[in-house]
Amino acid sequence: MTLRAGIVGCGGISRSHATAYANLRDVDLVALCDIQPAALQTRADEYAVSNRYTDFREMFETEGLDVVSVCTHAPLHALITIAAAESGINVLSEKPLSTDLENADQMVTACADAGVRLAVSHQYRFTPLFCHAKAWIQAGRIGELRSIREVGKGREAGFELMEMGVHYFDEMDFFMDGIEWVHGQVTYHGHAVGVGDIMHSSELCKTDRRDNGMVAGDTMLIHLGGKRGASGVVELYRREPLHGWMMGPHILGSEGQLMIKPNPKTGIDEMWYCPFDVSFAAHTPQWERILLPQEDFTVDGQLWPDRHSIWSVRDMVNAIRENKQPELGGSKALTSLECVSAVYESHFTGARAYLPLEDRRHPLIKRLNSVPSSPAREEA
Ligand SMILES: NC(=O)c1ccc[n+]([C@@H]2O[C@H](COP(=O)([O-])OP(=O)(O)OC[C@H]3O[C@@H](n4cnc5c(N)ncnc54)[C@H](O)[C@@H]3O)[C@@H](O)[C@H]2O)c1
């Protein structure tokens, strides 16, 4: 059976989803939706999609879709996902799943109640190099897994947490077989973040237009505890210029290291291995590039060497075909966003925040709401 796919939101990442649907066998990209006619027309012309909508509800009611990719900014993911679930459509939501756990829980419940799948598009874990690294870890090729380090691209930390942070949390969840707790320290212009430093993402980060709701801090040091005892370290701080090639895990084991980083010139991931737990550039020429056969990067006859959305789109499509949950389906879709809330919760309490969090409210908005109004505010 050929699956009917649609996309809501025709901006940057939608191209990656559209290419994926267009290249997967037995999937037709039949409809697109955007409130901006120019964005809609550009993407629809590019993929020769004739069914074009500016209202996602109308698209859901009309098109008989099997799956929809939600590619708008995070604050709209819940509204669109719940509407899709009510129309019986499986949902692949872009990350972050939402801006807070209350909304994210509603997404999970709405999809479960409607009997449709919901997954969040963290594509890294499905790529051949990440899968290969995980197989090496499981096989003991780097001894006992000790830690994984990731660094942001250089945007303000509160913004970056929602963009790259969630990807890093997902990959750590993948490599560490689950995250037990999170400890976060957040600063803004050098001082510990307080309630007065909470702001909208557009105020914190002027260089990226995406709406990530309420955020805080320009610098974060995040420590994660894995369920099997390994640690994750995520460092997010402002840096000029932005370095996309910094992203990628550095994985340390008791008997070796692995690194997966995009080549700065090509942007294509490379996996490197070193047979020591500690290494120095001048003294460790044993860093060796691990090459995988091209077949590993081939999906339906096409090569996909980078962290393309094809990997998460394919997982959802396979789940529909095989009548099972996608890998990041159900409550698993929540983990990376749980970590975001846990960072702030930990920062404000000074203690580790254990997953899943009991309090599902947005950790920043609830603190803003608990500040007593000043007399001036009341008069206004
Ligand atoms: N998985 C990844 O690697 C990856 C990479 C980039 C972006 N993203 C995520 O994808 C999401 C979108 O990012 P982007 O860079 O594509 O943003 P974008 O601003 O380029 O595109 C968003 C689009 O959504 C449209 N839109 C807004 N409201 C709408 C509505 N009610 N109905 C239909 N369309 C609507 C906008 O007009 C715009 O065209 C974000 O959550 C971002 O974090 C994920």
pLDDT digits (tens, 9 = 90+) for 336-357: 999 999 999 999 999 999 999 9
How many Å lie between the centroid of ligand 1 and the Cα of residue 20?
Answer: 16
Q: What is the mean pLDDT of residues 250-265?
A: 94
The pLDDT, as a whole number, for residue 36 is: 98
How many Å lie between the centroid of ligand 1 and the Cα of residue 180?
Answer: 30
Q: What is the mean pLDDT of residues 250-254?
A: 97
Ligand 1 in contact with 210 (CB < 6 A)?
yes
How many Å lie between the centroid of ligand 1 and the Cα of residue 34?
Answer: 10
The pLDDT, as a whole number, for residue 378 is: 43
Distance, in Å, from the CA atom of 6 to the CA atom of 338, rounded to the nearest integer, reads: 28
Ligand 1 in contact with 244 (CB < 6 A)?
no
The pLDDT, as a whole number, for residue 379 is: 44
Ligand 1 in contact with 11 (CB < 6 A)?
yes
pLDDT digits (tens, 9 = 90+) for 304-345: 999 999 999 999 999 999 999 999 998 999 999 999 999 999
Q: Which mutation among 19, 53, 72, 311 tests ligand 1's pocket best, with the greatest number of atoms within 8 A of CB?
A: 72
Q: What is the mean pLDDT of residues 168-182?
A: 98
Whether the CB-CB separation of 269 and 131 falls below 8 Å is answered with: no
Whether the CB-CB separation of 225 and 181 falls below 8 Å is answered with: yes
pLDDT digits (tens, 9 = 90+) for 14-29: 999 999 999 999 999 9
How many Å lie between the centroid of ligand 1 and the Cα of residue 98?
Answer: 12
The pLDDT, as a whole number, for residue 374 is: 52
Distance, in Å, from the CA atom of 266 to the CA atom of 378, rounded to the nearest integer, reads: 56
Residue 210 lies in a domain: no
Q: Which mutation among 19, 53, 73 tests ligand 1's pocket best, with the greatest number of atoms within 8 A of CB?
A: 73
Ligand 1 in contact with 160 (CB < 6 A)?
no
Burial of 95 (0-12, 13-18, 19+ CB in 10 A): buried
Distance, in Å, from the CA atom of 75 to the CA atom of 86, rounded to the nearest integer, reads: 19
Mean pLDDT rounded to a whole number for the chain: 95
How many Å lie between the centroid of ligand 1 and the Cα of residue 105?
Answer: 21
Q: What is the CATH number of the domain that holds 316?
A: 3.40.50.720
Burial of 11 (0-12, 13-18, 19+ CB in 10 A): middle
Residue 73 lies in a domain: yes
Q: What is the mean pLDDT of residues 279-307?
A: 89
Distance, in Å, from the CA atom of 59 to the CA atom of 47, rounded to the nearest integer, reads: 17
**Residue 372 pLDDT > 90:** no
pLDDT digits (tens, 9 = 90+) for 54-94: 999 999 999 999 999 999 999 999 999 999 999 999 999 99
Q: Per the structure, how many domains does the chain have?
A: 1
Q: What is the mean pLDDT of residues 278-284?
A: 75
**Residue 163 pLDDT > 60:** yes
Among protein residues, the one with the nearest Cα to ligand 1's atom 40 is: 73
Residue 367 lies in a domain: no
pTM as predicted: 0.96
Residue 42 lies in a domain: yes
The pLDDT, as a whole number, for residue 376 is: 47
Residue 251 lies in a domain: no
**Residue 380 pLDDT > 50:** no
Residue 351 lies in a domain: no
Q: Which domain holds residue 79?
A: 3-123+306-329
Question: Which tokens hold the place of 175?
Answer: 């490599």
Ligand 1 in contact with 13 (CB < 6 A)?
yes
Among protein residues, the one with the nearest Cα to ligand 1's atom 31 is: 35
**Residue 282 pLDDT > 90:** no
Residues of the chain above pLDDT 70, percent: 98
Residue 8's SS3 state is: strand
Q: What is the mean pLDDT of residues 98-105?
A: 98
Residue 101 lies in a domain: yes
Residue 184 lies in a domain: no
Residue 158 or 240, more confident: 158
How many Å lie between the centroid of ligand 1 and the Cα of residue 221?
Answer: 27
